[in-house]
Amino acid sequence: MSQVIIASQLDEDFNQVIRERLASLHPQAQVIGVPIGVPSDLPPHANILLLRPINVRGYTAPNTPPPGWPYGAQWVHLVSSGIDFYPQWLFNGPPVTTSRGSAADNLAEFALAAIFAASKHLPDIWVKDSHWNFTPLRPLKGTTLGLFGFGAIGERLAHKAQALGIKVIALRHSQAPFAPGVEAARDIHDLFARADHLVLAAPLNEATRNIVDRDVLAGAKPGLHLINIARGGLLDQEALLEALDNGRIGLASLDVTEPEPLPDGHPLYSHPRVRVSPHTSAISTNSRQEIADTFLANLHRYLRGQALENLVTAPLNSR
């Protein structure tokens, strides 16, 4: 392919990283910045589109594509791992790929940090004066981590947790085998009943929306630490508040909610056993390079007519 023109919704500092990396891969390639949101009026010769999430912070894209879509685009690459942030019509045109796995280590480390914080009472044990009280800290070794979802994030997290002596049990939709040492849960009730810390890392779709409901939470191991780094829609938040109040759930660390952001005054903000972070677990100081790595690896395949990786085949996946 002689001409490569990439229309990118990424910030200019991200675009510059890609330009610098393209210099050796395809020197004639161009990266043109375009506005975020529903793609419209793209440069006529742009054959690749780098797309940011569209349906975010209360905005929902129209049900029909803009006039002229897909313009000259022959391939669309999403800078996110999940696809629930995009309208359905996006997946009915050129091939669409995701950045699945690019932030898996970041997400796994965030979940592990939440587990450390809960077990070691951080930051509550920091002292500011001479009144010291000794607090027994819970060891991680010998505890059980439950994983609801076992994609790239689950694999990375399981590996890191096992290195700390944590037992890992998991539940996934597919029948693919788990990593060595990871035990399969019988079902979601078995998973919640056995875990000390439980991480939600599954796709959000019609089958998984509000799958963590009152019934599931009622059967959780008493004092369970629930961590959600996937999608807020997996969890019935009203049921979570009830389970926190009755003591069945000991702590909830939520990097995702529904909606995002939660409105001011929402009870999850003020509950003493809830930690809310602003959907930041996937973002790192290396995000520019991580996104570039995933995109350029696929560009290498695209230029050689090879099959693309992380191709969207069923538009109801998540990260």
Which pLDDT value is given to residue 317?
Answer: 40
Cα angle 15, 100, 274 (rounded to 5 degrees) comes to 100
* 260 is a catalytic site residue: yes
* Catalytic annotation, pick one of 156, 172, 225, 279: 279
* 231 is a catalytic site residue: yes
pLDDT tens string 238-259: 999 999 999 999 999 999 999 9
**What fold does the segment set 5-102+284-303 form as a domain?**
Rossmann fold (3.40.50)
Rounded mean pLDDT of the chain? 94
* Catalytic annotation, pick one of 100, 231, 248, 288: 231
- In words, the CATH class of domain 104-276 is alpha beta
3-state SS of the chain?
CCCCEEEECCCHHHHHHHHHHHHHHCCCCEEEECCCCCCCCCCCCCCEEEECCCCCCCCCCCCCCCCCCCCCCCEEEECCCCCCCCCHHHHHCCCEECCCCCCHHHHHHHHHHHHHHHHCCCCCCCCCCCCCCCCCCCCCCCCEEEEECCCHHHHHHHHHHHHCCCEEEEECCCCCCCCCCCEECCCHHHHHHHCCEEEECCCCCCCCCCCECHHHHHCCCCCEEEEECCCHHHECHHHHHHHHHCCCEEEEEECCCCCCCCCCCCHHHHCCCEEECCCCCCCCCCHHHHHHHHHHHHHHHHHCCCCCCCECCCCCCCC
Q: Is residue 169 scored above 90 in pLDDT?
A: yes
Q: Is residue 24 scored above 90 in pLDDT?
A: no
Dihedral sign for Cα 311, 317, 318, 319, please: negative
* 275 is a catalytic site residue: no
Q: Do domains 5-102+284-303 and 104-276 have the same CATH topology?
A: yes
Which pLDDT value is given to residue 313?
Answer: 85
Which pLDDT value is given to residue 2?
Answer: 61
Spans of all domains in the chain: 5-102+284-303, 104-276
pLDDT tens string 289-314: 999 999 999 999 999 999 999 999 85
The structure's pTM equals 0.91
Q: Please provide the distance, in angstroms rounded to a whole number, between the alpha carbons at the two ends of the chain.
A: 31
* Catalytic annotation, pick one of 12, 260, 300, 309: 260
Which pLDDT value is given to residue 314?
Answer: 56
Local confidence band at 316 (pLDDT 50, 70, 90 cut-offs)? very low
The Cα diameter of the chain in Å comes to: 71
